[in-house]
């Protein structure tokens, strides 16, 4: 493609919340972008929504003029002018295939088509493509909100050309300022596979061990280098229905996953979803705001909302004041308390889970670390954390807990002074 921003033409298919924000991402770089949907009304609504979404998708209000609403009937010929077509329609195979059928006759020979899917395989999506088009087709998975989340996962198929991959990688890195993580075509790729495991396993283990919501969020937020939203607040922000759908994708499509049962949706979450308590968008989920503006939390035992308890973790004041994440994590895993046992349990399971995903989802542990830092806002990736807590001593502790350790980790432990970095 080899274009600069002034000559690069882009089309985004689907003017929903994500599609419209992707159009804004290109507009912010001075790139004219066609925003397609079934009707002009839908694509115009998607464009107009950019003025009200928070955090703001547009760097400057005037950039919105670079986004041109289109529909698949009267504007489809504009596709012939486009260099990169980015499909972001509903996560439904039939809908995506219908959209592809409409645009294929108008694609120019050098145009690249990518999809923002997070759960449908390249093989399924390209089933009706010629070999020539398969060379110019791949997955480009942006994280929401795309202006602010650095992660861009790129997944090439068996037929995707290296030139296609390198072109999208180059635009992503040098024009859109994204952190590129190459991933394999496996369910939920890297970021969501690991991130959703982290959330679902933490929720399920908390219920099993009788740990309340505010304790979990106190242990899994800034104290260990993760965002303030921690676990249950993050679930509310994502949306409990969305979280369920992503977890089910892994549960149904990754039967060989040794920790598959931890992706199961707990009864308390199913109950909330049935009631429409989907989290932040419904103003009630694991947390809710009462009529006075006070934030309440769900009691996992009584299933009723109550005032939030102030949580004392039992860490030395000096460790907290120093603000050294490595020190804080080490202190947490060595706490001689129920909180300490819980934190060690979720952390050790996370580290083993990540190790077991190599080479299934990635050949490199660095890709997993980068995905978690750039896509989920962790200050340190799981393998960086493993070094922080002492690789050899932590593996020995896992073995003493009768945890199944991957062979490559055992081999690594047998070497002199082993570490990931």
Backbone angles phi, psi at 181, to 5 degrees: -125, 115
Mean pLDDT, the chain, rounded, equals: 95
The token duo for 284 is: 């009630």
Q: What is the pTM of this model?
A: 0.94
Residues 167-209 pLDDT 10s: 999 999 999 999 999 999 999 999 999 999 999 999 999 999 9
Mean pLDDT for 320-332 is 93
What number of H helices and E strands is found in the chain?
A: 18, 11
Give the domain ranges of the chain: 10-182, 191-281+311-413
Mean pLDDT for 351-357 is 98
Element (H, E) at 98: helix 93-103
Per DSSP, the three-state class of 380 is coil
Q: Which of 2, 26, 1 is nearest to 12 (CA)?
A: 26
Q: What local confidence, expressed as pLDDT, does residue 313 receive?
A: 92
Residues 138-168 pLDDT 10s: 999 999 999 999 999 999 999 999 999 999 9
Q: Which of 90, 88, 79, 31 is nearest to 58 (CA)?
A: 31
Lay out the sheet containing 10-13: strands in order across.
67-71, 33-37, 10-13, 84-87, 112-115, 137-142, 151-156, 179-182
Mean pLDDT for 243-259 is 93
Instruction: Please state, for a pLDDT cut of 70, what percent of the chain lies above it.
Output: 99
**pLDDT-based confidence at residue 7 (cuts at 50, 70, 90):** confident
Mean pLDDT for 304-324 is 91
DSSP string, 201-253: HHHHHHHHHT--HHHHHHHSSGGGTS-TTTTHHHHHHH-HHHHHHHHHHHHHH
* 198 touches 206 (CB < 8 A): no
Residue 9 CA to residue 11 CA, distance in Å, equals: 7
| Angle subtended at Cα 278 by Cα 272 and Cα 283, rounded to the nearest 5 degrees | 110
Lay out the sheet containing 287-289: strands in order across.
287-289, 295-298, 305-307
The token duo for 218 is: 């106190």
The token duo for 406 is: 């991957």
* 251 touches 238 (CB < 8 A): no
Q: How do strand 67-71 and strand 137-142 relate by DSSP bridges?
A: unpaired
Per DSSP, the three-state class of 16 is coil
Radius of gyration of the chain (CA): 23
How is residue 37 annotated by DSSP? E
Residues 83-137 pLDDT 10s: 999 999 999 999 999 999 999 999 999 999 999 998 899 999 999 999 999 999 9
The token duo for 122 is: 């390249």
**pLDDT-based confidence at residue 322 (cuts at 50, 70, 90):** confident
* 194 touches 186 (CB < 8 A): no
Residue 228 CA to residue 224 CA, distance in Å, equals: 10
Residue 104 CA to residue 197 CA, distance in Å, equals: 37
Mean pLDDT for 241-248 is 94
Mean pLDDT for 232-243 is 96
Q: What local confidence, expressed as pLDDT, does residue 78 receive?
A: 97
Diameter over CA atoms, the chain: 68
Q: What is the CATH class of 10-182?
A: alpha beta
Instruction: Please state, for a pLDDT cut of 90, what percent of the chain lies above it.
Output: 93
- Cα dist from 311 to 64, 289, 335, whole Å: 45, 20, 15
Alpha carbons within 13 angstroms on the beta-carbon side of residue 61 total 3
Q: What is the CATH class of 191-281+311-413?
A: mainly alpha
Residues 6+ apart with CB under 8 A from 140: 86, 114, 115, 116, 152, 153, 154, 168, 172
Q: Taking 60 as the threshold, does the pLDDT of residue 3 lie above it?
A: no
Mean pLDDT for 13-40 is 97
**pLDDT-based confidence at residue 6 (cuts at 50, 70, 90):** low
């Amino acid at each position: 493609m080899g274009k600069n921003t002034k000559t690069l033409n882009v089309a985004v298919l689907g003017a929903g919340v994500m599609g419209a924000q992707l159009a804004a991402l290109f507009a912010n770089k001075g790139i004219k972008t066609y925003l397609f949907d079934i009707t002009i009304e839908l694509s115009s609504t998607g464009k107009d929504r950019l003025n009200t979404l928070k955090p703001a998708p547009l760097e400057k209000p005037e950039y919105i003029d670079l986004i041109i609403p289109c529909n698949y009937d009267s504007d489809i010929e504009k596709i012939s002018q486009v260099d990169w077509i980015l499909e972001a329609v509903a996560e439904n195979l039939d809908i995506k295939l219908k959209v592809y059928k409409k645009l294929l006759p108008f694609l120019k020979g050098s145009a690249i088509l990518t999809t923002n899917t997070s759960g449908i395989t390249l093989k399924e999506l390209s089933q009706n493509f010629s070999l020539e088009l398969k060379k110019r087709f791949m997955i480009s998975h942006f994280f929401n909100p795309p202006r602010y989340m650095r992660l861009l996962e790129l997944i090439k198929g068996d037929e995707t050309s290296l030139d296609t991959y390198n072109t999208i990688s180059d635009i992503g890195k040098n024009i859109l300022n994204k952190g590129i993580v190459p991933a394999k075509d496996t369910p939920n790729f890297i970021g969501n596979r690991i991130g959703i495991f982290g959330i679902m396993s933490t929720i399920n283990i908390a219920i099993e061990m009788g740990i309340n919501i505010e304790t979990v969020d106190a242990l899994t937020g800034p104290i260990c280098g993760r965002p303030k939203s921690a676990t249950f607040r993050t679930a509310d922000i994502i949306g409990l229905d969305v979280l369920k759908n992503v977890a089910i994708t892994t549960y149904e499509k990754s039967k060989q996953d040794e920790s598959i049962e931890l992706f199961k949706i707990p009864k308390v979450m199913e109950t909330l979803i049935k009631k429409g308590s989907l989290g932040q968008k419904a103003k009630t989920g694991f947390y809710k705001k009462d009529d006075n503006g006070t934030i309440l939390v769900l009691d996992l035992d009584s299933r009723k909302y109550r005032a939030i308890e102030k949580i004392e973790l039992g860490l030395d004041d000096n460790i907290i004041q120093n603000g050294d994440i490595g020190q804080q994590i080490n202190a947490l895993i060595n706490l001689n308390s129920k909180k300490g046992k819980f934190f060690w349990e979720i952390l050790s399971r996370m580290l083993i889970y990540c190790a077991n995903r190599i080479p299934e989802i990635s050949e490199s542990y660095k890709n997993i670390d980068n995905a978690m830092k750039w896509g989920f806002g962790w200050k340190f990736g799981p393998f960086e954390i493993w070094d922080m807590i002492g690789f050899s001593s932590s593996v020995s502790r896992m073995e003493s807990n009768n945890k199944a350790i991957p062979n490559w980790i055992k081999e690594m432990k047998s070497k002199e002074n082993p570490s990931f970095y």
